[in-house]
Amino acid sequence: MPKKIHNLPITGIASFAKYPICTNLDELDADVCVMGIPYDQSTPYLTGSKFGPRRIREVSCHYGRGDEGFWDPERQEQYLAAPVRVVDGGDVDIHPMDFHETFDNITETVRKNLSKGALPVMMGGDHSVTYPEARAFDQFEDLCIVQFDAHLDFGQRTYTNGSPMRLISQLPHFKKMCQIGMRGLGSNTREDFQAAYDFGSVVIPARQALEMGDAEVIKKIPQAKNYFVTIDIDGYDMNTAPGVGSPSPGGLNYVFETDVLEGIAKKGNVVGFDLVEVAPQYDPTGITPRLGAMTMLAFMGFIMKEKEKKGLLKHRS
Ligand SMILES: [Mn+2]
């Protein structure tokens, strides 16, 4: 009998959730490709989210289950089990000074994932990276972007981490938008909010979202064929996500947010998502990258469950 491999979280190379590594994207053959974007040059104040991907990878090793996937005792479902195939595609190449080159690398990398039929799951990095990611989805019709965030990110300082949603609203392939979790001080100006409303964005502030509950929030998200989701970790309350550049009290919680993510996966075809703004050095407890890793795994599970039901997995059992 072959010797049992224990594969503890502490052993091996720290790929995302210990999934196999495939950094040559020409050879990519998976349902999901997780990649890092260690970039925080667009952060005007508290930088550090460039360390997010490495730290998320490290803590995610705790949840390495491989082909067995995860049993969810609340939903009574097995998630991310074989034949679902997940790989860690490494990181987008970052130019240390020329952000245009970095942004082009991001767009090209997401395009490559899509051309290989893999769901791109990108780990920021600061929130500016969502704009170059979003550029890559121009092949999709009836596309809605859903954002979880404390901040509207509709600012006018172009290419900062406070402006990606405004830039995305100017992309011709995004006609629908929903923004969940906005609150409190330091968010965008009244004019920025007006610009989002004028675009037609459905804005659901944090308190309202929590009072409505997940079912009502899911209903308010515009119906679309395809969804691209951007999860800023600071949409969560700062007591569960202190490791961010702009922490905010009065935020969302894990149960609510993952329930809404599940609802989005059921509502339409999720074509990709990112999780951004984890800045580990502000959080000595390490709960922020952990919350990031678990949110990513949960959403990947919900998306793949829907693909499984529709017979859309690449490798059927
Ligand atoms: Mn943001």
Ligand 1 mean position to 153 CA, how many Å?
6
pLDDT at 316: 67
How many A from CA of 197 to the centre of ligand 1? 17
| pLDDT at position 170 | 98
Q: Measure Cα distances from 202 to 191, 196, 219, 274 in Å.
A: 16, 8, 11, 20
Mean pLDDT for 257-267 is 98
pLDDT at 214 exceeding the cut of 70:
yes
Residue 314 falls within a domain, yes or no? no
Would residue 176 count as lying in a domain?
A: yes
Residue 97 lies in a domain: yes
Cα of 243 to ligand 1 centre, how many Å?
14
Give the CATH number of the domain where residue 67 resides: 3.40.800.10
pLDDT reported for residue 314? 87
Using CA of residue 95, residue 14, residue 33, residue 289, what is the dihedral sign?
Answer: negative
Compute the distance from residue 37 Cα to the ligand 1 centre, in Å: 15
* Residue 124: strand, helix, or coil: strand
The predicted model gives 207-211 an average pLDDT of 98
Token readout for 11 is: 């052993």
Q: Where are the alpha helices (DSSP H) in the chain?
A: 52-60, 99-115, 130-135, 164-169, 190-199, 206-212, 214-220, 254-267, 287-309
Mean pLDDT, the chain, integer: 97
Within a domain: residue 317?
no
- Whether the predicted pLDDT of 186 surpasses 80: no
pTM score, two decimals?
Answer: 0.98
- Mean pLDDT of the 130-143 span: 98
Domains contained in the chain, number: 1
Q: What was the pLDDT predicted at 317? A: 57
Residue-number span of the structural domain to which 250 is assigned:
16-21+30-309
pLDDT exceeds cutoff 70 at 51: yes
Residue 10 lies in a domain: no
Instruction: Establish if 230 belongs to a structural domain.
Output: yes
Residue 171 lies in a domain: yes
pLDDT in tens, 301-310: 999 999 999 9
Angle at 114 between CA 101 and CA 17, to 5 degrees: 90
In the structure, what pLDDT confidence band is assigned to residue 22 with cuts at 50, 70 and 90? very high
Q: Is 228 part of a structural domain of the chain?
A: yes
